[in-house]
Amino acid sequence: MAELVIKDLHVDVDTENGPKEILKGVDLTVRDGEVHAIMGPNGSGKSTLAYAIAGHPKYTITQGSVTLDGVELSDLPVDERARAGLFLGMQYPVEVPGVSMANFLRTAKTALSGEAPKVRTWPKQVNEALTVMDLTSDFSERSVNEGFSGGEKKRGEIAQLELLDPRAAILDEIDSGLDIDALRVVSAGIERFAKKPDKLVLLITHYTRILRYVHPDRVHVFVDGRVKVSGGPELADNLEERGYEQYAK
């Protein structure tokens, strides 16, 4: 089972002038096997939603709840949210100089499952996950995200998704900075993940382009820190034609 339930979520961001409310009551339920797209203009709070769920220290949940399979995430430290089955693919993946991808993946997998991955099978799994994302095997010897191209970062994120095997994947603008070939590879990776049992995906995107490759069950339009309207995949087509203006506050 995988079910993400967001209820009346209010979130403040830390600014130089004190806390500022960005999310103003988000309600959203993503059920087992579903892919939901969150779309919306720049500054509407999409990344804030992702960060707040993942537990970024700059974002404070002031009201409401987020549960994954009934477990309240806001009560948990970041690493325990990951152990609870959550994965966040970031808009701007963080560079970790001096830590190779191979080490990072092994450490993350060990932390998640409580035991080191098997030496007989793990390197092969890593190789396969990289190959399917069109990444060469020397990629695993490079420092995490350091000097990676935009496409390499995002393909690396999906390789992580494949290997770490969470239940809920929140992917924030995984499509930004991708050329058409990388977009296809990344989309195929997301679809492959979504089709496994007991998975759900929250796909945050500014553009409809990725939704030609990753087919959402539901589409939500985010405006000013709230879900303004929800619908089926046809809502994305409508946005493509008419833009976000029609939903301005």
Residues 34-53 that bind ligand ADP (CB under 6 A): 40, 42-48
Q: How far is the CB of 201 from Mg ion (least distance, A)?
A: 8
Cβ closer to Mg ion: 46 or 109?
46
Q: How far is the CB of 48 from Mg ion (least distance, A)?
A: 8
Q: How far is the CB of 59 from ligand ADP (least distance, A)?
A: 8
Q: Which of 2, 4, 9, 22 binds ligand ADP (CB under 6 A)?
A: 22
Cβ closer to ligand ADP: 83 or 228?
228
User: Measured between alpha carbons, how far is 9 from 24 in angstroms, rounded to an integer?
Assistant: 7
Do the beta carbons of residue 68 and residue 4 sit within 8 Å?
yes
**Angle at Cα 47 formed by Cα 43 and Cα 51, nearest 5°?**
140
**What are the beta bridge partners of residue 87?**
169
- Token pair 């988000």 in the structure block, residue: 26
- Token pair 């190959």 in the structure block, residue: 131
Supply the DSSP symbol for 215: -
Do the beta carbons of residue 13 and residue 19 sit within 8 Å?
yes
Residues 33-92 that bind Mg ion (CB under 5 A): 33, 46-47
Helix 101-113 vs helix 122-132: crossing angle, to nearest 10: 120
The stretch near ligand ADP (CB under 6 A) out of 13-21, 76-84, 104-112, 150-158 is 13-21
205 makes contact with Mg ion (CB under 5 A):
no
User: Residue 33 binds what, of Mg ion, ligand ADP, none (CB under 5 to 8 Å, by partner type)?
Assistant: Mg ion
Q: Which two tokens stand for residue 100?
A: 């190779």
Phi first, then psi, for residue 183 (nearest 5°) are -60, -40
Supply the DSSP symbol for 94: P
Residues 60-79 that bind ligand ADP (CB under 6 A): none
User: Residue 17 binds what, of Mg ion, ligand ADP, none (CB under 5 to 8 Å, by partner type)?
Assistant: none
Q: Which of 13, 73, 183, 239 binds ligand ADP (CB under 6 A)?
A: 13
Q: Which two tokens stand for residue 12?
A: 């403040």
User: Residue 145 binds what, of ligand ADP, Mg ion, none (CB under 5 to 8 Å, by partner type)?
Assistant: none
> Looking at beta carbons, which residue is closest to Mg ion?
47
Beta carbons within 8 Å of 244's beta carbon, 6+ residues apart = 39, 40, 41, 221, 223
Cβ closer to ligand ADP: 120 or 249?
249
Do the beta carbons of residue 199 and residue 193 sit within 8 Å?
yes
Cβ closer to ligand ADP: 44 or 140?
44
Q: How far is the CB of 173 from Mg ion (least distance, A)?
A: 6
Phi first, then psi, for residue 14 (nearest 5°) are -75, 120
| Binding site residues, Mg ion, CB under 5 A | 33, 46-47
| Binding site residues, ligand ADP, CB under 6 A | 13, 15, 20, 22, 40, 42-48, 58
